[in-house]
């Protein structure tokens, strides 16, 4: 199909079989700018009927071979075209992302560039998917080999914290594997995904291969997760909804990948470079206003340097500018919604009741929008809710330690296992702790580094499977074993 000159985002339609369509019911959900609370657009409130149409379209395109049977180098070229179109429209996408999600425009621009890079990275894999020939021992003479085939029709469900990034990751991986897919973006931030849908059509992705269905998680998301004609589901979101996805997927035993929550520990030793550590730790908890599954929210600091690190973090936090993502020099935009603001302020208040003292922040600035100050608290009583639950806001606790075994035990004392950071100049301690901390991503003297050529995912209840890299691609592939008697 040809692209419309008017932005599809403003049209607020679903993308089904290459056409922009309203929900069957005609219902819409308003989209708000969290910096002001004002409405900026709307998206369809899709029902099971819309999901069903999108799944049928994906199935038809998959079985037709319009994408999956085409030459790998042709598919690679299309993905590269997607990347180039994202680059061309980067400013428009970044502005839309900042309006819909609230993030600083500098962050939005960086993440849009990252999205293009993801398509470029995965385009390289299109021509490198391969099976094996295997020497087998079964009696007789055989030519035995494996084929790597796409998982089929994939459902992709994403959260609101980095909407464009998530849409790019999941769609690029599904397309590289040769799957057809249906994306259900977060209800709070559907707009940049719709722009991506327009770009996919402009780049020549065949109709029906990627469909985008907006709507509520418990309606459209649930219908996708339970749909009997969906083969695979890739979900990013909260651990609670992840559990629901597993239950819904059980009906037809869909293959399930889950990227869920985190409560990532940061361990700071007395020999650490404190300038670098303080800057890295502040970025690790305050980036995107803490609305990051990999945010370092439990900061274990050696007793000897506790007060020094607390003072440095306070200085950095006070210098940070909280405001509308379009204001120059803003470091922290708003939280996504009133609900999220209530949750974050509620957890901070409860932490204080549980014995935490506020080192810096702790309040919402006096202005419209869902803003919260960058906040560092001292340790509450062990086991307090603020130490156990993911906050998804710019809030961390500083917890003193003296003993290395004890701090490893505390770092691992969580249901989550997404990421961890270790700050020390002692390479022995650094690499030993990299082994002992139970998390899918370990940062030594850095934080928040995520590269699409490295597997990304969680231990324990932070998820199932991995995204990114070859392992991420393999989550969208399945293996067929072929025995040919000679």
Which residues lie near Mg ion (CB under 5 A)?
Answer: 31-32, 100, 188
Q: Which residue is nearest to ligand NAP (CB)?
A: 217
Task: List Cβ neighbours of 242 (8 Å cut-off, separation of 6 or more).
Answer: 235, 258, 260, 461, 463
| Alpha carbons 324 and 332: distance in angstroms, whole number | 8
Single out the segment in contact with ligand NAP by CB under 6 A; choices: 128-136, 186-194, 368-376, 476-484. Answer: 186-194
Q: Which of 97, 187, 354, 474 binds ligand NAP (CB under 6 A)?
A: 187
Q: Which of the listed partners (Mg ion, ligand NAP, none) does 418 bind, with a CB threshold of 5 to 8 Å by partner kind?
A: ligand NAP
By C-beta, is 233 or 316 nearer to ligand NAP?
233
Q: Which of 33, 114, 158, 180 binds ligand NAP (CB under 6 A)?
A: 158
Binding track over 273-302 against ligand NAP, x by CB under 6 A: --------------------x---------
By C-beta, is 89 or 161 nearer to ligand NAP?
161
Do residues 8 and 198 make contact, with C-beta atoms less than 8 angstroms apart?
A: yes
Closest CA to 177 of 203, 145, 201, 209: 209
By C-beta, is 81 or 184 nearer to ligand NAP?
184
By C-beta, is 80 or 101 nearer to ligand NAP?
101
Sign of the torsion formed by the C-alpha atoms of 448, 331, 29 and 20: negative
Closest CA to 318 of 376, 366, 272: 376
For position 464 contacting ligand NAP by CB under 6 A, the verdict is no
Q: In this structure, how many other beta carbons lie within 10 angstroms of the beta carbon of residue 368?
A: 12
Q: Which of the listed partners (Mg ion, ligand NAP, none) does 100 bind, with a CB threshold of 5 to 8 Å by partner kind?
A: Mg ion
In eight-state DSSP terms, residue 304 is G
Geometric angle at alpha carbon 161, from 156 and 163, rounded to 5°: 45
In eight-state DSSP terms, residue 456 is B
Q: What is the residue-wise DSSP string for 78-119?
A: HHHHHHHHHHHTHHHHHHHHHHHH---HHHHHHHHHHHHHHH
Closest CA to 365 of 397, 329, 312, 318: 318
| Alpha carbons 83 and 9: distance in angstroms, whole number | 19
Q: How far is the CB of 79 from ligand NAP (least distance, A)?
A: 22
| Alpha carbons 21 and 24: distance in angstroms, whole number | 8
Q: Is 443 helix (H, G, I), strand (E, B) or coil?
A: strand
**Lookup result for tokens 């180039």:** 84
Q: How far is the CB of 338 from Mg ion (least distance, A)?
A: 12
Q: How far is the CB of 291 from Mg ion (least distance, A)?
A: 12
Binding track over 243-262 against ligand NAP, x by CB under 6 A: -xx-------------xxxx
Q: How far is the CB of 213 from ligand NAP (least distance, A)?
A: 11
By C-beta, is 159 or 323 nearer to ligand NAP?
159
Q: How far is the CB of 218 from ligand NAP (least distance, A)?
A: 5
By C-beta, is 221 or 374 nearer to ligand NAP?
221
Single out the segment in contact with ligand NAP by CB under 6 A; choices: 20-28, 180-188, 308-316, 359-367. Answer: 180-188
Closest CA to 375 of 400, 399, 393: 393
Residues 196-235 interacting with ligand NAP (rule: CB under 6 A): 216-218, 221-222, 225
**Lookup result for tokens 């950071």:** 421
Q: Which of the listed partners (ligand NAP, Mg ion, none) does 225 bind, with a CB threshold of 5 to 8 Å by partner kind?
A: ligand NAP
Residues 391-420 interacting with ligand NAP (rule: CB under 6 A): 392, 418
Q: How far is the CB of 186 from Mg ion (least distance, A)?
A: 9
User: Which residues belong to the active site?
Assistant: 259, 293
| Alpha carbons 212 and 43: distance in angstroms, whole number | 11
Q: Which of the listed partners (ligand NAP, Mg ion, none) does 217 bind, with a CB threshold of 5 to 8 Å by partner kind?
A: ligand NAP
Q: How far is the CB of 447 from ligand NAP (least distance, A)?
A: 15
By C-beta, is 190 or 380 nearer to Mg ion?
190
Q: In this structure, how many other beta carbons lie within 10 angstroms of the beta carbon of residue 281?
A: 27
What are the beta bridge partners of residue 233? Answer: 155, 256
| Alpha carbons 175 and 205: distance in angstroms, whole number | 9
By C-beta, is 34 or 178 nearer to Mg ion?
34
Single out the segment in contact with ligand NAP by CB under 6 A; choices: 140-148, 241-249, 342-350, 370-378. Answer: 241-249
Q: How far is the CB of 230 from ligand NAP (least distance, A)?
A: 12
| Alpha carbons 158 and 184: distance in angstroms, whole number | 7
Binding track over 433-462 against ligand NAP, x by CB under 6 A: -------------------------x----
Do residues 206 and 213 make contact, with C-beta atoms less than 8 angstroms apart?
A: no
Q: Which of 161, 264, 287, 468 binds ligand NAP (CB under 6 A)?
A: 161
Closest CA to 83 of 448, 466, 452: 452
Q: How far is the CB of 190 from ligand NAP (least distance, A)?
A: 8
| Alpha carbons 303 and 298: distance in angstroms, whole number | 15
By C-beta, is 32 or 372 nearer to Mg ion?
32
Residues interacting with ligand NAP, by CB under 6 A?
157-161, 184, 186-188, 216-218, 221-222, 225, 236-238, 241, 244-245, 259-262, 293, 390, 392, 418, 458, 463
């Amino acid at each position: 199909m040809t692209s419309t000159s008017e932005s599809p985002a403003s049209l607020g339609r679903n993308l089904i079989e290459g056409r922009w369509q309203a929900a069957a019911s005609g219902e819409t959900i308003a989209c708000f700018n969290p910096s002001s609370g004002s409405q900026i657009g709307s998206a369809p409130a899709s029902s099971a009927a819309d999901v069903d149409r999108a799944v049928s379209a994906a199935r038809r395109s998959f079985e037709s071979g319009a994408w999956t049977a085409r030459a790998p180098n042709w598919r690679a070229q299309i993905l590269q075209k997607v990347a180039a179109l994202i680059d061309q429209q980067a400013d428009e996408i970044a502005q839309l992302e900042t309006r819909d999600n609230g993030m600083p425009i500098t962050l939005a621009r960086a993440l849009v560039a990252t999205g293009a890079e993801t398509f470029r990275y995965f385009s390289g894999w299109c021509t490198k998917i391969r099976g094996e020939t295997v020497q087998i021992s079964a009696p007789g003479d055989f030519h035995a080999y494996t084929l790597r085939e796409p998982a089929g029709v994939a459902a992709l469900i994403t959260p609101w914290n980095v909407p464009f990034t998530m849409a790019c990751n999941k769609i690029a991986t599904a397309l590289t594997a040769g799957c057809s897919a249906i994306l259900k973006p977060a209800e709070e931030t559907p707009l940049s995904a719709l722009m991506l849908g327009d770009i996919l059509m402009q780049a020549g992705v065949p109709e029906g291969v990627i469909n985008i269905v907006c709507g509520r998680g418990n309606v459209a998301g649930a219908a996708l997760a339970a749909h009997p004609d969906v083969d695979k589901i890739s979900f990013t979101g909260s651990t609670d909804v992840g559990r629901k996805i597993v239950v819904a997927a059980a009906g037809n035993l869909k293959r399930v990948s889950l990227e869920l929550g985190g409560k990532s520990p940061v361990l700071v030793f007395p020999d650490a470079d404190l300038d670098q550590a303080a800057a890295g730790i502040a970025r690790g908890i305050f980036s995107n206003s803490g609305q990051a599954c990999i945010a370092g929210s439990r900061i274990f600091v050696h007793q000897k340097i506790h007060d020094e690190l607390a003072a440095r973090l306070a200085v950095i936090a006070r210098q940070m500018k909280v405001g509308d993502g379009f204001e120059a020099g803003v470091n922290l935009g708003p939280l996504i919604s009133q609900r999220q603001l209530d949750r974050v302020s509620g957890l901070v208040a409860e932490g204080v009741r549980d014995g935490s003292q506020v080192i810096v922040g702790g309040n919402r600035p006096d202005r419209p929008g869902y803003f919260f100050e960058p906040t560092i608290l001292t340790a509450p009583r062990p086991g307090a809710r603020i130490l156990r639950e993911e906050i998804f806001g710019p809030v961390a606790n500083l917890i003193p330690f003296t003993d290395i075994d004890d701090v490893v035990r505390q770092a691992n004392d969580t249901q989550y296992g997404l990421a961890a950071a270790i700050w020390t100049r002692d390479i022995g301690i650094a690499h030993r702790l990299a082994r002992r901390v139970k998390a899918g991503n370990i940062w030594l003297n850095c934080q928040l580094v995520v590269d699409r050529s490295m597997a990304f995912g969680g231990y324990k209840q932070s998820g199932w499977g991995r995204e990114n890299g070859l392992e991420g691609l393999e989550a969208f592939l399945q293996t067929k074993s072929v025995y040919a008697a000679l």
